[in-house]
Amino acid sequence: MRTTPPSPTGSESVVSNDSRPRIGITTYLEPATWGIWQREAAILPRVYLDAVAMAGGTPILLPPVGTDPSVIGILDGLVIAGGCDVDPGSYDATPHPETVDTRPGRDDHEAVLIRAALDADLSLLAICRGLQMLNVALGGTLHQHLPEVIATDDHRPSEAVFARTDVKIEPGTLTARILGEGATGSCYHHQALDVVAPTLKITARAGDGTVEAAEVEGKDFALGVQWHPEETPEDLRLFTALIRSTQ
């Protein structure tokens, strides 16, 4: 993996079509409907695919079936996507009444991929639930229902409606080199990092103290954010930085 420093600005594609990095993106197994069919399917919102492609990468979908850590060997980078609540059994906690719709099989799948990516020094971008899984895979825990901690629903204002969150970024970090001193992102979550894993470094927080970004210490590019950068196609800096880090 090359270690060209990420540019702090720009959402343009950074590689030519004949050398596009292969970026794996984790997917969901969910009941789905298309045409006359109603079946379980591996799905992912298209905005992830578009963000990777617009930044100069080739998206490769990684369903939570047949998990094999050796798939890391054919990838140039990995995105751990957002989604449902992380199963509290993943960090030895009792389920909260508001923790619902968990997918333990997906948790196990993503934990395997995260550890394999870190062992291989593969560039890694973890998004929303992905940041939570990064923390859990490395030994951390989660707040299962954030409104009980910060006394507000600001991070998930209503069903299927994204909020806008302002974050303050720690200087001298990879996050700051990409985004500067602060950022505003789209968010939709009711869980968040609680006990931070020993090898994670917090690099951004919201005004209410919620952890909004963290990096794995000792890695060139292993970054998680609590917001959804794929929902802001006019600002692809995180995806552009991911692609550049593979060169």
Q: Which residues are annotated as catalytic? A: 128, 228, 230
Quickly tell me which residue has 């998206």 as its tokens: 59
> What is the torsional sign of CA 74, 241, 196, 96?
negative
- Counting Cβ atoms within 10 Å, is residue 201 exposed (0-12), middle (13-18) or buried (19+)? middle
**Quick check: 29 and 84 in contact, CB under 8 A?**
no
> From the CB of residue 178, how many other CB atoms can be counted at a distance below 10 Å?
25
Q: For residue 120, what is the DSSP state? A: T
**Quick check: 216 and 228 in contact, CB under 8 A?**
no
**Quick check: 155 and 146 in contact, CB under 8 A?**
yes
> What is the torsional sign of CA 107, 203, 180, 158?
positive
Give CA torsion, residues 81, 196, 117, 68, to 10 deg: -70
Cβ neighbors of 239 (< 8 A, separation 6 or more) are 51, 52, 54, 55, 57, 125, 229, 230
Name the phi and psi angles at 132, rounded to 5. Answer: -65, -40
